[in-house]
Structure formats: structure tokens, C-alpha cells
Amino acid sequence: MIPVSCVFDQAILTTLLDHDPVVQDYRQFFALLDWSLVQQWEDQQSLHRRPPTHSEAAYIKAFLLRIREGFMYSTQLRRFLLKHPLLIIELGFHLELDPSAPYGFDAHKTLPSRYWLGEKLRTLDPLLLQQLLEATVHSLQAEIPGLGETVAFDVKHIYAWVKENNLRTYVTERFDKHQVLSGDPDCKLGVKRSTNQEQPDGSTKEKKELLWGYGSGVAAATTPDYGDVVLAEYTQPFNEGDVTYFRPLYQRAAVALQAFPTHVTADAAFDAWYVYEAAARHGGIGAIPKNGHGHPEMVRDPDAVPRCAKGLRMTPRFGFQHTNGYRAQRFGCPLLFPTPTGEACERLSSNHGQGCHKDPNWEAGGLMRVLLDRSSPLYKAVYTQRTSCERINSQAKELGIERPRLRNRRSIANLNTLIYLIINVRALQRAISINRGLLPMI
């Protein structure tokens, strides 16, 4: 809506909007998002409740502006918009008309309060934000051929806004994981980094860096010419292990791409059979360093058949469903199965006279995990793309993801999605510019 005032008529205000550099910058930025999704969401919501004072699109645009401008607090956002009344019109807030005002409306009465801006960030529909993020992936696919053939996974730590994370403040029981913090009841204690320090006697001692907060999981893809793209994101409290992010991220990435990735890659924290399984089912590999998790390595032949403690090739007996959710293969003592050989072994009397046995994971992903050639050119080429997540995390850090001034999980999760939206829109702007430059001059 273009207001009218005693100073500027509608024609002049329209001209001002068309020539204001800040308004034009945000108009071009917002044009790359699919706002029809927001309109459809509002139409569905209007069937069950009265239309709100301001549109959902206006709030989302305001929060995107807050992140782009580097504002940590809603107060800063509101103060900035009061200084740029033309932006208030451009964002689409419902104007409180006042013809005596220079721009035809009362900016103070139009803008939501600081409290309501914070509350609105918390109550934004996360599914709607996910749909907007998916739409940017579809737009990027139209500009970047083959996007998403290889997908990388990683987790970024987020510090909760609590005094327990401030080492300069005295706090009793700072790292008691069972307590619920008053500053942010949703955050959890987790390990940011674990290192082994050598002691004077030559032994090593594990040192853990702990923090209260959240983890932001990201699935990303990269291409040499176009750079890095966010395919999916997922936020959890920080006490969850990195590998727990994989399944929701993989599902969201597949939905966004409307196809399953061929290859996946991640660091050693994602070394689980079902991560490899996702790639094996679609003819790809899981380029992930092997992580023994402190367990001794099973000696196997090139076809994955294990060998016993004496070095003998074990005998396959039967398959069964393991309690950990995968298909396992039972291998028995070669001195007893399929028929006893009569050869002596001190382990023959174990397991009720059946000798030693092993139950390796016999799923395609489980076999890939132990048989994959991690020195092959394909593995190295796929694993190199893991750095796309590191570059995405670096961009997200610059946009304020690491230390948000928020005190609940839902607000932080919504903020994270909005940050990744900005990263993808920037990638889309870059891709459009590159493709435009590749077109032959007519």
C-alpha cells in the first residue's frame, strides 16, 4: 500500500521507493524468494482464525533484514526501520495512516513492539520456513546443472545465551548436565571439542571443551564454478551426537532435491553403517573416515568374511535381524562348522560348545564401511567436497549463528533457517550472475 501525505503524494512516494538504494537492494533480494508459499500458508490459516494485523511475509522479510544488517536484538531492528520509513512500506507492514506525517503513516504505531517482534520469531511456522528454503534449492537447481549429486554433512555448535557459558562469571555446578538453566531451559550441555593431552609421565589425558547450547546440522553441496549451497538444515540441543543429524538432514535434502544424492561425505563423527547405506542404495559411496570408536578392528578377508583369533577363515551359518536394526550374518568356528575337523583349539568349548562366532553387519552400507578403498581417486574426490559444509558454517557464523541473543530452542531454530535462506539467496544471485555472463552477446 502506498500512502499519501501533505508532503508527498502517491506518485512521489512511488518514485522514492523506486530510487531509494536500500529499498532497491532489498527488493531485488526478496524477489528471489517464492512468496506464493507464504500466501498459500496465510490462506490456509485464514480458514481457522482472523487475519493478523501484519502479513506473515512482512515479518519474515523483517527478520531477514535483521540478519543481513547484523542486528542481534529486535530493538536494533525496530530502530533501523524507524530511520528508514520507506523500508516499512516495502516490507509490507499494514500502515497506520496519518496524512499529516511526512510519509503518510505513523511509523511508531505501524511497527510491532520489540517484545512482539521477539515473540513472532518464536512462533513462526518452521514448516513454512523449510518450504521457503526448499524453494531456493529448486531455483538453484534450475541454474546449476547436477546440483546435489554429492551431499556433505556437518554440525555447527551454537552457544546458548546463558551465564554458564561465560567463564568469567562464577557459577556453581557450571557443567552439571542434569540441571535446567533459567536463562534458556531448552539448551543442553555437550562436548564442543575433545583432545588428548600428553602428561609428564608420557600418558595421555582426554580434555573436553564443554558448552551449553545447540547444534545446527547442515547438508550442503558445492560446484567449482558456483560455490556452496545449503540443501537442508536441522537444529537440536547440543547433547545429541553428530550422527543423529544425518537421517533428518538426508530426508530433507532428498525432498528439496526431489531426488536421492548419489554420494555422501562427512567427518568421522558420521561413521555409521546407515550413512553408507544411503549412498550404497543409489550406486554411490559414503566418503567418511573410519572411526573404530575404541573397539578392536575385526580381521576380514577382501570379501568381508571374518577370520577367527587363530587366523582361520570363519564359516557362514545364518543371517538374522540384529537388535541394532541391521541385517547381520552369523559366522561360526571353522573347526566345528560345517563339520567338526577334530583339530584342537582352546576356544572350542566356549559358547556352549559351539566355539567362537562373529556377527558382522551384512547390509550394503555395513559392508561398504569396511571394504571401501579410502585411497581411491573417487573417495578422495568425494571427500574433498566435505569442505563445503565448513564454508557454509563460516558464512553462517558471519551472519550471527554462533552466539544468538535468544533464549529458547524454537526461536534459535527459526533464526538458523532464516540464516541459511540468506546464504542460498546469495548463492542464487551469484549463479544468475554467472549464467548471465556465460550467455553469448547478441
For the residues of 294-348, what is the DSSP string, one character each? TPPPPPB-TTS-BB-TTSPBPEEEEEEE-TTSSEEEEEE-TTTSSS------TTT
Task: Please report whether residue 209 resides in a domain.
Answer: yes
Same structural domain for residues 52 and 120?
yes
Mean pLDDT of all residues belonging to the chain = 93
Q: Which residue has the higher pLDDT, 198 or 42?
A: 42
Flag the least confident range among 3-12, 155-164, 183-192, 372-381: 3-12
Q: Above 80 in pLDDT, residue 199? A: no
* Of the ranges 94-98, 136-140, 335-339, the best mean pLDDT one: 136-140
Predicted pLDDT of residue 50: 75
Domain match, 151 and 116 both: no
Same domain, 63 and 90: yes
CA-to-CA distance for 253 and 255, rounded, in angstroms? 5
Has residue 200 got a pLDDT over 70? no
Q: Quick check: 425 pLDDT over 60?
A: yes
Question: Is 389 in the same domain as 433?
Answer: yes
Kindly indicate the confidence band of residue 353, based on its pLDDT and cuts at 50, 70 and 90.
confident
Q: Residue 347 domain-assigned? A: no
241 falls within a domain: yes
Residues 98, 197, single domain; the answer is no
Is residue 442 scored above 50 in pLDDT? no
21/65 same-domain check: yes
CA angle 285, 287, 289 (to 5 degrees): 140
Is residue 358 assigned to a domain? no
Q: Is the pLDDT of residue 127 over 80?
A: yes
- pLDDT recorded at residue 206: 66
For residues 106-120, average pLDDT: 95
Q: How many domains does the chain have?
A: 2
Answer with the one of 104, 124, 144 that is the final residue of a domain. Answer: 124
Q: Per the domain annotation, does 312 fall within a domain?
A: no
Q: Are residues 70 and 135 in the same domain?
A: no
Residues 145 and 242 in one domain: yes
Contact by Cβ (8 Å): 167, 229: no
Percent of the chain past pLDDT 90, that is, above it, reads 80
- Please give the residue range of the domain that contains residue 287: 128-291+379-438
pLDDT given for residue 149 in this prediction: 96
In a domain, 302, yes or no: no
pLDDT one-digit tens code per residue, 276-310:
999 999 999 999 999 877 778 889 999 999 999 88
Provide the pLDDT for residue 202.
62
- The three-state secondary structure class of 39 is helix
* Helix, coil or strand: residue 246: helix
With 50 as the cut, is the pLDDT of residue 189 above it?
yes
Give the pLDDT confidence score for residue 421 in this predicted structure. 98
Q: 66, 90, 124 — which closes off a domain?
A: 124
Question: In the prediction, which pLDDT does 211 show?
Answer: 95
